[in-house]
């Protein structure tokens, strides 16, 4: 199979032999874009397309934001200004009726040598309006040819600054792509999907799709090409994930937790101060089914802030304890670990379950006690940070591991945790960043997905307000009313120290102001990430105990702080935070019986997208809606960079967040094939194996550890 791949000219031939590239440009493409073979370049798709069939006149330019456009006209004069690094060339360009400025900051000598005032040109670029004058910097320029037919759609490719400075323009890239598409090696491009699938799903053939994504015949052809390539990419991603998931499910044994015992039943019947929600009960049933079937559980638990994930995790750990095993909960920060430890210890003490907390700041004497208790089995549940994966931490019999906020832990770190068990432990992963189910199953690899989609009864919705700096006195009065009524408040800043470049309010500056306004009547605590653990814990204790009424903090309190009496969350410079982070911070209030408020403070002069993002926060408290909006506005970020199961993938054309319907269809096709492998014809199996090998042969198989 690998021999087949090596025979392909697309995989074997280097780019220097493509017309228009040569040795120097091949080196540049390799260094800047990691493009080395013909196939690499062929699959380097445009990130957008522009229509070159229409010529704009300068008088048609309007508004503050214009797309890239092309204009016919003449240069009337060239003026060079400045010296050295500040040198620039400005030209006056006219279409015969109106004029605009064209500017260059590099390559000035070449521009002056190439252009003149006699020739009619076509310039293409993004115009900007500065003080009423339209300008264009470093446009693409070519001589106007009245005989040449009008161009249609043209691909726009991502280029680095280094490439642009060395003359690698969009026009150069487009000519190279046209040359590649005409290369005889294109005959080696083999169809990547089975013929039956292409016909049934009405997908464009691969060669036609490749041609039409680089040089579309028309808009419809571009749409069909894009859809086909997105499906192909997502189909093989899902097929790869699912085949590893099924292999792990079949091969990885798990401890059989066969009974629900005294600890679980006593806690459920006598200790719980309130009834579980239907969603919590459903998730516990799913976990119960997993842990008694003799296979390792790998389950993702999604739930909004305040939905009761920690309680479900504790009751899951009681299943292990009732079967004579130990359990562990690993959290990403010391604050969160201690917060979990406090809740679990309170519950555990009530039913005779020994819960201990181990973090980097745990004293040596206490650490020795914990190590001994883990080895002799007297410690039932261990809660901690990365300290849990230290070699010195050994368990007598570890049966279940809970990972909170899994994306903050590296795969190799989790692997060290699994190695501490005689048999691979059951795994429950928790996240408060809700994402759509199919996306979750892709991002988190082979994990089954459970969702807590109900809030506990009695929770009141949080009012979220957007306020500006000139509303400061109104906000102060509201905070004071809540404090005077016996409640507490958070005030969160994005930075610890003042940074003039970003002109954000720092915690230091903010703390001083808060002391001036509220300090005469109310005690103030403060925490940030650079404090020593002991001091941080002391300040947190002041707030948790109610001695301090205001907590001034950075985003270190984003997760893990549970103070039911806190009713106000003020977020300074809210425009600097992402939606998911704002939602996490908002979740620190609304945890008690009182009405709660989240106040987003922003400067009044903010961009349209920023205002839209902040407005979403004021319109909904549903974490799934917030997360969906966040991914649409910002993109999925790291989720599309590395799968949490450890199988790296880079998406060239598809988006996990924007192409949900194609992702669903791709996953369904992958499941259909894996459910009935005997029905796959040998020719189709050869195609599937060839493509999986080509795409994932170098992936690391971390599937054994979730």
Give the pLDDT confidence of 372-404 residue by residue, as tens digits.
Answer: 999 999 999 999 988 888 888 999 999 999 998
**pLDDT > 70: percent of the chain:** 88
Give the pLDDT confidence of 42-68 residue by residue, as tens digits.
Answer: 999 998 888 777 888 999 888 766 777
Pairwise CA distance, residues 39 & 13, whole Å:
9
The H-assigned helical ranges of 409-471 are 411-418, 437-443
- Residue in the block written with tokens 């605590």: 525
**Residue 209 pLDDT exceeds 70:** yes
Looking at residue 448, its pLDDT comes to: 79
Pairwise CA distance, residues 316 & 318, whole Å:
5
Q: Could you tell me which residues come within 8 angstroms of residue 184 by beta carbon, excluding any fewer than 6 positions away?
A: 9
Give the pLDDT confidence of 127-163 residue by residue, as tens digits.
Answer: 988 778 899 999 989 899 888 766 778 888 988 888 8
Q: Is 430 helix (H, G, I), strand (E, B) or coil?
A: strand
Give the pLDDT confidence of 305-324 residue by residue, as tens digits.
Answer: 778 889 999 999 999 999 99
463-620: CATH homologous superfamily?
P-loop containing nucleotide triphosphate hydrolases (3.40.50.300)
Burial class (CB in 10 A: 0-12, 13-18, 19+), 577: buried
Pairwise CA distance, residues 444 & 309, whole Å:
18
As given in the structure block, the two tokens for residue 531 are 């404090």
Give the pLDDT confidence of 221-261 residue by residue, as tens digits.
Answer: 999 999 999 999 999 998 988 887 777 767 678 889 988 99
CATH of 54-149, one of 3.30.70.1350, 2.40.50.140, 4.10.140.10, 3.90.1200.10: 2.40.50.140
Looking at residue 51, its pLDDT comes to: 77
Pairwise CA distance, residues 78 & 88, whole Å:
10
* Exposure on the CB side of residue 220, measured as CA atoms within 13 A: 0
Pairwise CA distance, residues 654 & 230, whole Å:
5
- Beta pairing, strands 133-137 & 128-130: antiparallel
Least trusted range by pLDDT, from 90-94, 121-125, 444-448, 552-556: 444-448
* Overall average pLDDT of the 580-595 stretch: 84
Looking at residue 382, its pLDDT comes to: 97
CATH of 262-452, one of 2.40.50.100, 3.40.630.30, 3.40.1160.10, 3.40.50.300: 3.40.50.300
Q: Which residue has the higher pLDDT, 175 or 656?
A: 175
Q: How confident is the model at residue 704 (pLDDT cuts 50, 70, 90)?
A: very low
**Residue 491 pLDDT exceeds 60:** yes
Do the two domains 54-149 and 262-452 of this chain adopt the same fold? no
Looking at 391-438, which runs of residues are DSSP E strands?
398-404, 426-431
Long-range contact set of residues 61-69: C-beta below 8 Å, sequence gap at least 24: 61/100, 61/127, 61/129, 61/134, 63/129, 64/129, 66/126, 66/127, 66/128, 67/126, 68/124, 68/125, 68/126, 68/156, 69/124, 69/125, 69/126, 69/127
Give the pLDDT confidence of 90-105 residue by residue, as tens digits.
Answer: 999 999 999 999 999 8
Domain ranges across the chain: 54-149, 190-240+645-706, 262-452, 463-620
Looking at residue 206, its pLDDT comes to: 96
* Overall average pLDDT of the 282-292 stretch: 94
Q: Measured at the alpha carbon of residue 583, what is the angle toward residues 580 and 587, in degrees to the nearest 5?
A: 140
Q: Is the full-model pTM beyond 0.95?
A: no
State residue 300 phi and psi, 5-degree precision. Answer: -100, 125
């Amino acid at each position: 199979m690998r021999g087949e791949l090596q025979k392909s000219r697309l995989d074997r031939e280097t780019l220097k032999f493509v017309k228009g590239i040569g040795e120097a440009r091949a080196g540049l493409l390799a260094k800047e874009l990691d493009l080395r073979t013909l196939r690499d370049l062929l699959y380097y798709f445009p990130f957008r397309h522009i229509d070159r069939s229409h010529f704009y006149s300068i008088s048609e330019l309007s508004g503050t934001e214009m797309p890239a456009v092309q204009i016919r006209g003449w240069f009337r004069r060239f003026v060079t200004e400045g010296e050295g690094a500040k040198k620039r060339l400005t030209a006056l360009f006219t279409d015969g009726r109106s004029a605009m400025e064209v500017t260059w900051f590099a390559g000035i000598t070449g521009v002056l040598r190439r252009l003149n005032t006699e020739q009619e040109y076509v310039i293409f670029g993004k115009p900007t309006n500065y003080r009423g004058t339209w300008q264009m910097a470093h446009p693409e320029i070519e001589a106007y040819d009245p005989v040449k037919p009008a161009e249609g759609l043209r691909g726009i490719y991502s280029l680095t600054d280094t490439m642009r400075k060395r003359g690698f323009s969009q026009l150069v890239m487009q000519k190279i792509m046209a040359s590649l598409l005409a290369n005889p090696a294109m005959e080696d491009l083999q169809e990547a999907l089975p013929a039956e699938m292409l016909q049934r799903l009405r997908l464009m053939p691969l060669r036609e799709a490749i041609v039409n994504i680089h040089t579309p015949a028309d808009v419809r052809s571009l749409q069909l090409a894009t859809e086909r390539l997105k499906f192909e990419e997502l189909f093989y991603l899902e097929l790869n994930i699912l085949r590893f998931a099924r292999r792990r499910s079949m091969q990885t044994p798990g401890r059989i937790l066969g009974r629900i015992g005294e600890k679980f039943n006593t806690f459920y019947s006598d200790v719980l101060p309130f009834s579980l929600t239907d969603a919590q009960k459903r998730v516990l049933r799913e976990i119960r089914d997993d842990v008694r079937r003799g296979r390792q559980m790998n389950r993702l638990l999604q739930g909004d802030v305040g939905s009761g994930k920690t309680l479900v995790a504790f009751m899951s750990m009681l299943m292990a304890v009732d079967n004579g095993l130990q359990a562990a909960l690993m959290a990403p920060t010391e604050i969160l670990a201690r917060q979990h430890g406090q809740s679990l210890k309170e519950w555990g003490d009530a039913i005779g379950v020994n819960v201990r907390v181990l973090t980097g700041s745990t004293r040596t004497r206490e650490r020795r006690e914990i190590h001994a208790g883990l080895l002799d089995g007297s410690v039932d549940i261990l809660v901690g940070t990365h300290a849990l994966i230290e070699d010195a931490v050994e368990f007598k019999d570890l049966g279940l591991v809970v990972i909170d906020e899994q994306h903050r832990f590296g795969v190799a770190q989790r692997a060290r945790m699994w190695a501490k068990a005689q048999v691979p432990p059951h795994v429950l992963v928790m996240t408060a960043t809700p994402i759509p189910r199919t996306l979750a199953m892709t991002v988190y690899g082979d994990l089954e997905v459970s969702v807590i989609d109900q809030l506990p009864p009695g929770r009141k919705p949080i009012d979220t307000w957007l306020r500006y700096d000139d509303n400061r006195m109104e906000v102060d009065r509201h905070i004071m009313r809540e404090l005077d009524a016996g409640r507490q408040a958070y005030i969160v800043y994005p930075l610890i120290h003042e940074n003039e470049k970003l002109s954000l309010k720092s915690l230091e500056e903010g703390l001083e102001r808060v002391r001036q306004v509220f300090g005469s009547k109310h005690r103030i605590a403060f925490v940030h990430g650079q404090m020593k653990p002991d001091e941080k814990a002391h300040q947190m204790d002041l707030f948790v105990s109610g001695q301090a009424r205001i907590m001034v903090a950075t985003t270190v309190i984003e997760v893990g702080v549970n103070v039911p009496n806190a009713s106000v969350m003020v977020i300074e410079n809210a425009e600097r935070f992402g939606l998911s982070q704002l939602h996490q911070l908002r979740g620190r209030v609304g945890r008690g019986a009182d009405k709660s408020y989240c106040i987003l403070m922003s400067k009044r002069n903010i961009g349209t997208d920023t205002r839209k993002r902040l407005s979403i926060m004021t319109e909904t408290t549903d974490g799934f809606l917030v997360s969906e909006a966040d991914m649409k506005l910002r993109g999925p970020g790291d989720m599309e960079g590395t799968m949490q199961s450890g199988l790296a993938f880079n998406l060239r054309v598809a988006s996990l967040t924007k192409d949900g319907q194609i992702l669903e269809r791709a996953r369904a096709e992958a499941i259909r094939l894996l459910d009935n492998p005997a029905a796959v014809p040998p020719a189709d199996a050869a195609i599937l194996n060839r493509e999986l090998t080509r795409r994932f042969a170098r992936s690391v198989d971390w599937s054994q550890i979730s």
